[in-house]
Structure 1
Amino acid sequence: MEKITPRFWVLTLMVFAAAFVRLIPHPPNFAPIAAIALFGGAYFNKKSFAFAVPLAAMFLTDAIIGFHSGMWIVYLSFALIVVIGMLMLKKINVKNVVLASLSASISFFIITNFGVWAFGTMYPKNIAGLVECYVAAIPFIQNTLVGDLFFSGVMFGIFEFAKTKLPALAQVKA
Structure 2
Amino acid sequence: MNKRILTISAFILLAAVSRMIPHPYNFAPLGAMSLFGAAYFSNKKLAFALPLLAFFVSDLLVNNILYADYYSGFVFLSPGFYWTYGAIAAIVVFGILMLKKIDFKRVIAGSLSASLLFFLISNFGVWVTSPMYPMTFEGLMACYTFAIPFFHMNVLGDLFYCGVLFGAFEYAKQRVPALQTA
TM-score, shorter chain, exceeding 0.5? yes
Q: What residue number does 1:107 align with?
A: 117
TM-aligned CA deviation for residue 68 of structure 1: 2.2
Counterpart check, 1:26 vs 2:23: yes
* Structure 2 gap segments, 5+ residues each: 64-76
* Aligned residue number for residue 52 of structure 2: 55
> Hey, what does 1:80 align to over in structure 2?
90
Question: Per-residue displacement from partner, 1:117-140 (whole Å, max 9, x unpaired)?
Answer: 012211111122111101100001
Q: Which position in structure 1 is the counterpart of 2:73?
A: none
Q: C-alpha deviations, 1:143-171, integer Å up to 9, x for none?
A: 01111011101100000000001111012
Write the distance in 1 (CA, Å) between the matches of 2:8 and 2:92. Answer: 14
**Following the alignment from structure 1 to structure 2, what is the Cα–Cα distance between the partners of residues 49 and 107?**
21
TM-score, normalisation: structure 2: 0.90
Structure 1 spans left out of the alignment, 5+ residues: none
- Number of aligned residue pairs: give it: 169
Q: List structure 1 runs of 4+ shifted beyond 3 angstroms.
A: none
Aligned pair partner of 1:7 in 4, 12, 16? 4
Name the residue aligned to 2:43. 46
Q: Is 1:96 equivalent to 2:106 in the alignment?
A: yes
The Cα RMSD (Å) is 0.9
1:35 alignment counterpart: 32
